[in-house]
Amino acid sequence: MSNDFSCSSHCLRHESVSILLSNYPSILDLVFTKDRRRLRWPVDSVLAEAGCLGAVEQSLARISLDIWNGSGGARLMDVLMLPAEHQRESFLMAMTHRFFANEGSCHCRICRQRDDQFLQSIPKF
């Protein structure tokens, strides 16, 4: 599985993971490079580093990798371990965003800016 991305696919994955980890920026830093465009390390290394964290953080790292490229090996138990209703709600929001938000095109800030620039470049008659 590749760490690279196409724009709308990357944006959708990035937004989904950001929703899930909104209260866990340290896990975002563990899993992804600073620009969030690729995984910081190979999946096995990320999972090994996450092994030093608590059970909830490990679950969030696995779920994040699954959202990113299907490589995290998250189980239903990982979702059930999410402690507060807020975290389960964040998970459901991330899943909804990941699988249903991209009907047609991506609507994240990056893609909207690109689309706006394109529309502005079209000559007016």
pLDDT digits (tens, 9 = 90+) for 95-122: 776 665 555 455 566 666 666 666 676 6
In a domain, 92, yes or no: yes
Position 1 in a domain: no
Segments forming the whole domain that contains residue 67: 7-121
Q: Is 73 within the bounds of a domain?
A: yes
Kindly state whether residue 37 falls inside one of the protein's structural domains: yes
> Is residue 28, in this structure, part of any structural domain at all?
yes
How many domains does the structure of the chain reveal?
A: 1
Q: What does the pLDDT look like over 10-26, one tens digit per residue? A: 677 778 888 888 888 99
Give me the residue label for tokens 């459901």.
92
Q: Is residue 2 part of a domain?
A: no
Q: What pTM does this model have? A: 0.70
